[in-house]
Amino acid sequence: MANIFTRFKKQIETSDRNSDDSLKTHYYKGTFNQVYQTVEKLFHDDADCHVTTVSKEHGEIAVEINKPIPCFLVVTIVSVKPLETAVDFNISSERFSLLGMYPQLKKRILSYYDKIGKLHNLVEVRKNS
């Protein structure tokens, strides 16, 4: 029964503890500054996105996404080792969909992980620890 309800969730947060392996924290090879700049540029260059807040000292970037569905995204970037940086997303939408928002929000997160992965080598996606 959980899958039916999951479909209608309007918010997804990636973390090491997420039960869905594809939504676990992704760790990339690179310094904090390198990964942070990549992520910031990714959203500044996306015409469908508007970066609302940048807080490098907190490792956070807040983004309003206009298309294909309006949603709000907070990206958290944290250096865990000298050349290993973690990236997490928290995405949410107020929009209602008869088919559920979760699949669309998840697809968007996975596409961002994919874009970052093209510029930085993925070190790992941690399994439950």
- Model pTM? 0.91
Average pLDDT value for residue range 58-70: 94
For the chain, the average pLDDT equals: 91
Q: Residue 107 pLDDT more than 50?
A: yes
Please tell us whether the domain made up of 2-125 is placed in CATH 3.30.310.80: yes
**Under a CB-based contact definition with an 8 Å cutoff, are residues 108 and 46 in contact?**
no
Mapping DSSP onto H, E and C, the string for the chain reads CHHHHHHCCCEEECCCCCCCHHHCCEEEECCHHHHHHHHHHHHHCCCCEEEEEEEHHHCEEEEEECCCCCEEEEEEEEEEECCEEEEEEEEECCCCCCCCCHHHHHHHHHHHHHHHHHHCCEEEECCCC
Cα–Cα nearest to 89, from 112, 65, 71, 69: 112
Q: Residue 129 pLDDT more than 80?
A: no
Give 12-40 pLDDT, tens digit per residue: 999 999 999 999 999 999 999 999 999 99
